[in-house]
Amino acid sequence: MQKKEAGTDLLVAEIIRGIEEVKGQDIQILDLREIENTVCDYFIICNGTSNTQVNAIVNSIQKIVSKALKEKPWHVEGSDNAEWILMDYVHVVVHVFQKHIREFYDIEGLWGDAKTVLIKTSY
């Protein structure tokens, strides 16, 4: 069990690095491990300022995770309009939003029981 956690922690770190590489905003990690019947261990949520930046964030995550860990997302959804792209890495699900779409769906509010970590960025 500990090996999975170490791998998941590395995956989370590389995903964050991918988001920061292209200046993704308002990065939050929701720890879902203590909530029953969840689909994964973590949600990572961030937003971009346009559909171009949302796509750039997704591409950056895929490139960095693939290079560092040789992992690809199991499933990616929402790339067509790039308002909300979901990347499923099985234990970690990444949500990349445009800001107004993120505010509308309020995933953080829906998962209010989750432990939340806000990633501070220097840009």
- pLDDT tens figures, 43-58: 999 999 999 999 999 9
Q: Tally the domains of the chain.
A: 1
Q: How many CB atoms lie within 10 A of CB 61?
A: 28
Quote the pLDDT of residue 112: 93
- The reply to whether 63 falls in a domain is yes
User: Has residue 123 been placed in a domain?
Assistant: no
Helix residue ranges per DSSP H, 2-117: 2-21, 51-69, 99-105, 107-110
Work out the end-to-end distance of the chain between its first and last CA atoms, rounded to an integer number of angstroms. 36
Q: Which CATH number covers residue 75?
A: 3.30.460.10
pLDDT value of position 5: 74
Judge whether 9 lies within some domain.
Answer: yes
**6 pLDDT band (50/70/90 cuts)?**
confident
Domain that holds residue 69: 2-118
Nearest to 82 by CA among 51, 50, 48, 45: 51
Percent of the chain predicted with pLDDT > 90: 91
* Span 9-34, average pLDDT: 97
Query: Is 47 inside any structural domain?
Result: yes
